[in-house]
Structure 1
Amino acid sequence: MSHAPTGLELYSQTADDAAAAVISRYSTSFGIAARLLGPRPRPHVRNIYALVRVADEIVDGPAHDAGLSPERERAVLDGLETEVRDAIATGFSANLIVHAFARTARECGITDELIAPFFASMRTDLDTAEHDDLSHDAYVYGSAEVVGLMCLQVFVNAGMTAPAAPAADLVDGARRLGAAFQDVNFLRDLADDANRLGRDYLDGAADDERRVAVLDRIDADLAAAASVIRHLPPDCRAAVTTAHDLFAELSRRLRSSPVGAPRVRVPDGVKATLAARALLGRPPKGSRS
């Protein structure tokens, strides 16, 4: 006999629902991919995305639009980080998004080893406008690669008795897929980052030669990630393949799109085709498997 949830169970389900609402409003691409996950990892990946999005919004405009000074933005971000750590330690937060993430972190073994670099990169956005190769790599590790590693912790550990360390090839694949996603978004948002936020993450990628070098790096990262997706648990492969292929398609379109063109997008019909292809068990594009 089923029972209606009460108490902490009801609260946690409500927190998961709040996280699902965040991903559905902010990202069609990741929203599609998340829906292709099995029920075991799906809510946890949504919980990760929601926290990442909230932190990103603190430093990328909405907080400023609300009238917060840079100093106040930093204080809000610091407070969010403290809330996350406290919620992981106690198992509860009055912030639904933080509560959802903490539940995922506790079950799947997401520790401060990944959380601290993420918030460090978010903090970088408050005081660093221009990046060289070294600072780009550090920023991408914290803002994207560790998010891929958080998702990998979910893929391997959700529903398990105790979290275990993922295999080294999966760790490398998760990092490189996260880096590719971030660099694609940097290229897509080049003008907006420069004009609205005053930031240059790619050290002059408006230059054609530099832009091609970034795209070559993206494609190499995507290829490396594609080669290990088959080693993921079965209930994760279609979702990760879809996300991979969506960004591979964006990379392809960026190569044929001149600097200054409107933001590159993948049409809904193409997204649906890529998702259907992944659901049929086809390997990621660019994979030799």
Structure 2
Amino acid sequence: MTGGELYDRCARDAAAAVIANYSTSFALATRLLGPRVRPQVREIYALVRVADEIVDGAAEAAGLDRDQQRVLLDSLEIETLAAIDRGFSVDLIVHAFATTARACGIGEDLIRPFFASMRTDLDLAAHDAASHESYVYGSAEVVGLMCLQVFVNAGHPAPRIPDARLVEGARRLGAAFQDINFLRDQADDSERLGRDYLGIGGATDRATVLERIDRDLDAAAAVIPDLPRDCRRAVTTAHGLFRELAVRLRNSDENVRVSVPRTVKARIAAQAIAGRAPRRSTP
């Protein structure tokens, strides 16, 4: 193994450790991906997680103010784009992501909107319909599109443009995931962070958001069977986990942070492994 190969492996391992420690649901779904795409999806998640920690978690816990957080976020964006261009970064997480981005055609058109949405968390506390749409595109839909680039292009000699139906499905699934997380974290976002992503009580209400989530999940479910075979079980599992969260949100008090029990997670994963189609909101 050459020095470059060893460094690449260490970077992949670092990305895998991030997802394993931060998200049991996505870690479960990612384990169901085929080996062709599994490391790359972990690398996308790891970079996204680090950026989120700058604006929401670890940086603030370390005592950094918003100006310092902004400097770090800007630096991470600059280093990510530079690493894609040069093929190397001293930051293992950035290096892993950049390697995947170069191989699978993840470019500035997806990376810059992501960082723009992360930067919004430092500047905007309450969202209206327009800013919500823009934020969700950058924070979640483009992440789905990054994963789609991996699904379509990993292992191929040159990146290809995904089918338009798959692009729409990836965006709708990302949007549903984000709105579900907004609903789950609504109390914490308001009380701890002083943020309102959904405008519930103003121009919209909880039922309207849940209906939008159902439509987005159904739109995504329609195209999951068209994904490459080694991606379907994992995406079906992730879809099923968030469908279950949506059901529990509909049946819970808005101040309760719902979760999916391990036994239910296992059942959803087993159904996906057995080839069951993604669950729709209506029969």
Is this a same-fold pair by TM over 0.5?
yes
CA distance in structure 1 between the partners assigned to 2:43 and 2:72 by the alignment: 20
1:107 corresponds, among 96, 103, 108, to: 103
Q: 2:186 maps to what in 1? A: 190
Q: Aligned residue for 1:242?
A: 237
Contact 1:206/1:259 (<8 A) preserved: no
Contact 2:173/2:239 (8 A) holds in 1: yes
Work out which of the residue numbers 42, 46, 50 in structure 2 matches 1:46. 42
CA contact (8 A) 2:214 2:281 kept: no
Does 2:74 align with 1:78? yes
Give the match for residue 285 of structure 1.
Answer: 279
- Matched with 2:12 is 16
How has the CA–CA distance of structure 1 residues 205 and 269 changed in structure 2, closer, same or farther, with 3 Å as cutoff? Answer: farther
Which among 135, 157, 161 is matched to residue 161 of structure 1? 157
How far residue 205 of structure 1 moved from its aligned partner, in angstroms, is 5.5
Aligned residue for 2:280, secondary structure, equals coil
Q: Does 1:94 align with 2:85?
A: no
Distance 2:112 2:264 in 1: 37
Write the mapping of 1:1-289 to structure 2, written as runs, cut at 5 A.
5-204=1-200, 210-261=205-256, 263-286=257-280
Deviation string, structure 1 residues 237-284 (Cα, Å, up to 9, x no partner):
0000000000000000000001212x1000000000000100111110
Calculate percent identity across the aligned residue pairs: 66
Q: CA deviation at 1:6?
A: 2.8
TM-score (norm 2): 0.98
Secondary structure of 1:227's partner?
helix
Shift of 1:206: 9.3
Structure 2: segments with no counterpart, 5+ residues: none
Q: Tell me the CA shift for residue 287 of structure 1.
A: 8.3
Structure 1 moving runs of 4+ over 4 Å: none
Secondary structure of the residue that 1:92 maps to in structure 2? coil
RMSD after superposition: 1.5
Q: Is the 8 A contact 2:187 2:255 kept in 1?
A: yes
1 CA distance for matches of 2:254 and 2:274? 36
Q: Distance in 2 between matches of 1:40 and 1:166?
A: 17
CA distance in 2, matches of 1:242, 1:206: 34
Distance 2:235 2:98 in 1: 23
Q: Which runs of 5+ in 1 are unaligned?
A: none
Report how many residues are paired. 283
Q: Distance in 2 between matches of 1:157 and 1:260?
A: 42
